[in-house]
Chain A
């Protein structure tokens, strides 16, 4: 019977049979040794152990926990505010949507620099929505206006 050992880095544990080893809380990174292996290997690389890990999700790569700190925010680009587009809409479409877009742009900025990245992304999506809607309404009104004028001219007014 094959005997397995595992180590937590300082102490070695074992010998265990394969079934005993399965009861231990080992992870993919836990170093394993048995006689045929020659040297310590991560459990994830040992073929007969892979079935233990089938139900265990792979480890999450650690995200930087200081992500939200002020210093880091100043080095990052906030989400798109749609400010420029909103100003253009205000100047050309004559619609209150442009003003709404500018207010949303301010929300993106203040939320982002307050560390609320998710909220900033939401406001950015809102700003995009309103700018797009007002852009198309502006185009539609222009086209309808033109059709009405041409139809009027054609019918002799």
Chain B
């Protein structure tokens, strides 16, 4: 690894740590310093990502119940995203991993995810 790459990773880790401390300490709910969702500001409707910041706040405080209440998709996606990152980082995956990769992250899976996100988007606005 060259120095620039190490530097990049250091900066990223420092930023993520600072953000994690901020999000753990402060509840974004009603706090002006946390960015608002532009989609919600303009339309008054919730987008699939609304509540993510609050959900992260609750997760960092180990309050899974409230995190799910704020944005269930975010909580559910965490194990999936971690699996995906591990699969992506493998340089030479074996046959078995490739098979699972195709099932979990293949074309069909992507369309299922897209449908879930869009269904969630509609449902959370009509409820």
Contact = CB atoms under 8 A, between A and B. Distances in A.
A42 B112 CA distance: 59
Interface in A63-96: 74-77, 80-81, 83-84, 87-88, 90-94
A102 B113 contact: yes
B66 interface: no
A93 B36 CA distance: 10
Given A91-B49, A94-B39, A83 B105 contact: yes
B113 A91 contact: no
Interface string B96-127: 00100110011100110110010000000000
Among A76, A87, A98, A105, residue most surrounded by chain B Cβ atoms (within 10 Å): A87
Interface residues of A, number: 31
Interface string A121-156: 000000000000000000001100110011001000
A26 interface: no
A36 B77 CA distance: 75
Interface stretch (A10-18, A27-35, A49-57, A106-114): A106-114
Contacts of A75: 95, 98
| Chain B interface, DSSP helix/strand/loop, else mixed | helix
Given A75-B95, A87-B81, A149-B32, A94 B38 contact: yes
B111 A92 contact: no
A91 B110 contact: no
Interface in B67-89: 71, 73-74, 77, 80-81, 84-85, 88
B91 to A, nearest CB: 8
Contact of A94 (B47, B77, B107): B47
Contacts of B101: 77
Nearest to B91: A77
Contacts of B111: 106
Contacts, number: 78
Given A109-B106, A109-B110, A84 B50 contact: no
Interface of B: 32-33, 35-40, 47-50, 52, 71, 73-74, 77, 80-81, 84-85, 88, 90, 92-93, 95, 98, 101-102, 105-107, 110-111, 113-114, 117
20 contacts: A74-B98, A74-B102, A80-B88, A83-B84, A83-B110, A84-B84, A87-B77, A87-B81, A87-B113, A91-B48, A91-B49, A91-B73, A94-B37, A94-B47, A94-B49, A99-B114, A102-B110, A145-B36, A146-B35, A150-B33
Interface of A: 74-77, 80-81, 83-84, 87-88, 90-94, 98-99, 102-103, 105-106, 109-110, 113, 141-142, 145-146, 149-150, 153
